[in-house]
Amino acid sequence: MKALYPIFFLFMFAAWVGSEQLKEEEVFKLYDEAFGGKPFAKFEDNTRETENTKLQAGVISSTAADRLIRKIRAPETTSAAHTDLPTCLLCVCLSGSVYCEETDIDAVPPLPKETGYLYARFNRIKKINAKDFSEITTLKRIDLTGNLIDTIEEGAFSKLLLLEELTLAENRLTKLPALPPKLILFNANHNQLKSKVIKANFFKKLTNLVSLYLGDNALEMVPPNLPETLRTIHLQNNNITTVTDDTFCKSNNTRYIRHALNEVRLDGNPIFLAKFPNSFTCLKNLPSGKYF
């Protein structure tokens, strides 16, 4: 029975693949090459036969096996991310979560329906297409940290009405995508963002936003009209040189207190916070940063 396992696996694999790029006859051809033309031969691993004997007995040759794997995993006309190889063979799928970390994919892989959590950190993804998440409306968390993303098509996250956490840290973004309304956490640390690409009411409409991370970018000012729900904002290591009385507070209401916001990071910016004493009167805690 052990000798039949490779054949069973390949038939199942070919069925899963279902690719026009890998025809049935190609599977048999590569399989025959890999198994020395004798796929049904029996061979015990504990014998001390030579490599030629192993090949004749039907044991897979490493070189041909590598060719077979490469042929199935990465057809020449398709990137590794979008072969017909099922995502749950390329990545790890577990209880509604998909883990594609450090797999060298260069695009978002096709996700199983009802995926709730995607972790595709430290890959080579360059672009987020509008169709990548259009049919996976169950997503609650997406983490794309450490990729090469510089482009996100309009509406890429528009259908993700359940999305609560979106992490795009350590990429190459120069502008922000439209964000879904129920977002609780947004992390775009270590990108190339400038203030001019953030519209005046960009974050105001996110009425569930609790944590906002925009550190290590090229922002010249604190994003305006921050939602009242915000508890944490990280803006360290940007180019912020000034804040106004309305940045965090309300200049026309001296009794206004921003109760939720308790952590503001402004360290690593070219600003002396002591020059703007009226800018933090509504905060429970002073921002971190240079005061003298």
**How many beta carbons lie within 10 A of that of residue 239, not counting itself?**
15
3-state class (DSSP) for residue 114? coil
Residue 115 in any domain: the answer is no
The amino acid sitting at 26 is: E
Question: Could you give the number of structural domains in the chain?
Answer: 1
∠ CA 137-212-261, nearest 5°, is: 125
DSSP result, 143-159 = E-TTS---EE-TTTTTT
> For 116-131, what is the mean pLDDT?
98
pLDDT band at residue 85, thresholds of 50, 70 and 90?
low
Lowest mean pLDDT among 59-73, 176-190, 213-227: 59-73
Note down the domain range covering 69.
2-73
β strands within 192-256, DSSP E: 211-213, 232-234
Flag whether 135 is in a domain: no
- Does the pLDDT value for residue 76 go beyond 70? no
Closest by alpha carbon to 42, among 2, 81, 77? 2
Dump the DSSP string for 238-270: S------TTSSS-TT-TT----S--EEE-TTSS
- Between CA 92 and CA 130 the distance in angstroms is 24
| Torsion from C-alpha of 54, 57, 60, 63, nearest 10 degrees | 60
| pLDDT at 20 > cutoff 90 | no
Q: Tell whether the model's pLDDT for residue 9 goes beyond 50.
A: no
Residue 75 pLDDT exceeds 50: no
> What does the pLDDT average to over 133-142?
97
This model's pTM is above 0.85: no
For residue range 230-276, what is the model confidence (pLDDT) as tens digits? 999 999 999 999 999 999 999 999 999 999 999 999 999 999 999 99
pLDDT at 140 over 80: yes
Q: What percent of the chain has pLDDT over 70?
A: 71
Does 31 map to a domain? yes
Q: Tell me if 275 is assigned to some domain.
A: no
Q: How confident is the model at residue 99 (pLDDT cuts 50, 70, 90)?
A: very high
What pLDDT, on a 0 to 100 scale, did the predictor assign at position 7? 40
Q: Let me know if residue 238 belongs to a domain.
A: no
Give the helix/strand (H/E) hosting 118: strand 117-119
Residue 50: its pLDDT value, please? Answer: 37
**Interaxial angle between packed helices 24-34 and 5-17, expressed in degrees from 0 to 180 and rounded to the nearest 10:** 150
Q: What's the pLDDT score for residue 173?
A: 98
Higher pLDDT, 134 or 3: 134
Is a pLDDT exceeding 80 seen at residue 35? no
Within a domain: residue 8? yes
Model confidence at 94: pLDDT above 80: yes
Q: Is residue 120 part of a domain?
A: no
Mean pLDDT of the chain: 80
